[in-house]
Structure 1
Amino acid sequence: MTDHQPAFGKTPVAAHGAPGGRARPESGFWHRPEWMNLVADALVVVATVGLTYAVVKAVTRLPVFHLQELVVTSPLNRVTRAQLEYAATSSMQGNFFTVDLESARKAFENLPWVRHAQLRRRWPGVIEVSLEEHEAVAYWHSVDSGDTRLINNYGEMFDAASNADMPVFSGPTDAGVLMIEQRHHFDDLLKSTGLHVVALTLSGRHAWQIKLDNGMLMELGRDDDKAPLDARLTRFIAAWPQLQGRFDRKIVVADLRYPSGFAVRTTDNDQRKGVQ
């Protein structure tokens, strides 16, 4: 090692201990004013929101905002005043702001004749209720359980008490709309006879059976391309005036499942066939 070489491992040190004589800038959160200002602003916003929420909650719970009135805006035919009062008192807790309208809606829709319910607030203390009632078109008799329900014009089943004069349906639970349509269709075809469908049955194999208001049971069977159901029923309707004059006893069963004719049974169990 010569005299012109510095001692091994030694480096010139500048002021403040920074190599090369340049000062190192201070670092860290407390030396960053822009960060501190950003956090301070965020804390102010959070505090303001929290305080506003607390004030709103406190104000909305004041007794001055209690519910004053329940107004039903739709005409009602089936739902009674007592049922409305029960649904309201059992579900509408709190004041004008805190009452749970969704819970109240479900309570009104649980009433026997209510299909849909809508509720809304009206300042200063009114809750408006609009109800859509079921329009029953038939009784639905379950062969499996023996229970009887009602079916509305949408093909939906519901539970309610009724003594209305309506037809009785029996069939698959998802066939409500189809049976409503078929009942009207059969009545249209039977119009010339003056008879009407009072009971309609659809089996699991899609075989139809109808009972008429004169007590006659008609076995229609399944619709078939080779022997369409409408064609078989129309053939029987065309022969109906002659059948009435031919038998002095009441026809209790008409079997239309034959491809080219039909069979009838009278009150004395006499069975005869008509073929065309």
Structure 2
Amino acid sequence: MARSPQRGEGGTRRARGTAGSALDRPTSLRLWLRRRRGLLRPAGLGLLGAGALVVTAVAVMAADPYGRLAALWDGAAEIAAGGGLQVQDVLVDGMRNTPPELVREALSVRRGDPILGFDPHWAREQLEQIAWVEHAHVERLLPNTIKVRLEERKPFAIWQRESRFAVIDREGKVVATENVGAFGRLPLIVGAGADRAAGPIVDLLHDAPEVQERVHALVRVSERRWNLRLRNGADVLLPEGQEAAAIGRLAELQAKQGLMDRPLAAIDLRLPDKLVLRMAPGQPPPEPPGSGQKAQGTTRSGRG
């Protein structure tokens, strides 16, 4: 009886001295698990054995959190895999624009891997680091299936800054810089700050289809206001903060006078009570588009 404390103290010192290599050598617990692997081959017993080991792991965690817990969990996964709990299928829903290779890399799982060794929470975090993925949901469906549901960011516009093009969502987050041409139907926005400010102006154009169909690009000027670059090369200068009224006015002029189809270099709508037109080089002076409007030629550059 008097020697027991001495053995316990010596055992404690040896455990502390070899904590770093405890998982590198076979422990009695690991050997015990290996001996019993053959007893749990059927899938039903594999579920029962794995469940019992998981419950045991909770108890062991309190007494020995850094020693045998990892070995116990690895052993449980090995036994469960031997009992049929192996990854056989990965089902992915909602993957439309996300590259499949990025999903495979994020999941980091192969057929035949122990399904209990797969961490759904870690996989979700990896998936949500992909630019296209806004939210991800990952779950294990025992005995052999992993199910993934992706909520992708919606492509909203193509953003050009200098010579670089990117697909962005409505909030301005870049979701793709490759294969941008596949999204050629999206609005083209240009300039610094255009990525963050494009939402409202794009919505206004959706409500004015006779204007939208003639617009090639929306150009952000000095990060304050917008120009509309028309398909015929003309620029429409919009006032800062009064885009809705200006686009409504432009739609009315188009319906009555076909203003955007004329050979113009610029249509300046920045002043609410004045319309300024600049002709394309070599074109005759314009006629007033309406009796209530005053047309005036100008050589202004169109800068904000």
TM-score > 0.5 by shorter chain: yes
Specify the alignment match of 1:262 in structure 2: 275
Q: Whole-Å Cα distance in 2 between the matches of residues 175 and 81 of structure 1?
A: 26
- TM-score under structure 2 length normalisation: 0.58
1:250 and 2:270 aligned = no
Q: Aligned AA for 1:70?
A: V
Q: Aligned AA for 2:270?
A: R
Q: Whole-Å Cα distance in 2 between the matches of residues 267 and 208 of structure 1?
A: 21
- Please, which runs of 5 or more residues in structure 2 have no aligned partner? 1-58, 295-304
After TM superposition, give the deviation of residue 167 of structure 1 in Å: 1.2
After TM superposition, give the deviation of residue 257 of structure 1 in Å: 1.9
Contact 1:183 1:197 in 2 (8 A): no
Specify the alignment match of 1:70 in structure 2: 90
The structure that has the greater radius of gyration is 1
Q: Aligned AA for 2:90?
A: L
Specify the alignment match of 1:209 in structure 2: 227
Equivalent of 1:234 in 235, 248, 251: 248
Specify the alignment match of 1:151 in structure 2: 168
Counterparts in 2 of 1:105-120, with a 5 A limit? Answer: 105-111=124-130, 113-120=132-139
Contact 2:194 2:220 in 1 (8 A): no
After TM superposition, give the deviation of residue 114 of structure 1 in Å: 3.1
- TM-score under structure 1 length normalisation: 0.63
- Please, which runs of 5 or more residues in structure 1 have no aligned partner? 1-44
Q: Aligned AA for 1:156?
A: K
Q: Deviations over 1:186-243 (max 9, x none)?
A: 342x3356744332123345121112344432111313xxxx4443443343333564
Contact 1:96 1:125 in 2 (8 A): yes
Contact 1:141 1:147 in 2 (8 A): yes
Q: Whole-Å Cα distance in 2 between the matches of residues 57 and 253 of structure 1?
A: 71
Counterparts in 2 of 1:107-146, with a 5 A limit? Answer: 107-111=126-130, 113-143=132-162, 146=163
Q: Whole-Å Cα distance in 1 between the matches of residues 133 and 121 of structure 2?
A: 15
Cα distance, 1:127–1:86 mapped onto 2, change above 3 Å: same
After TM superposition, give the deviation of residue 129 of structure 1 in Å: 0.9
Cα distance, 1:91–1:102 mapped onto 2, change above 3 Å: farther
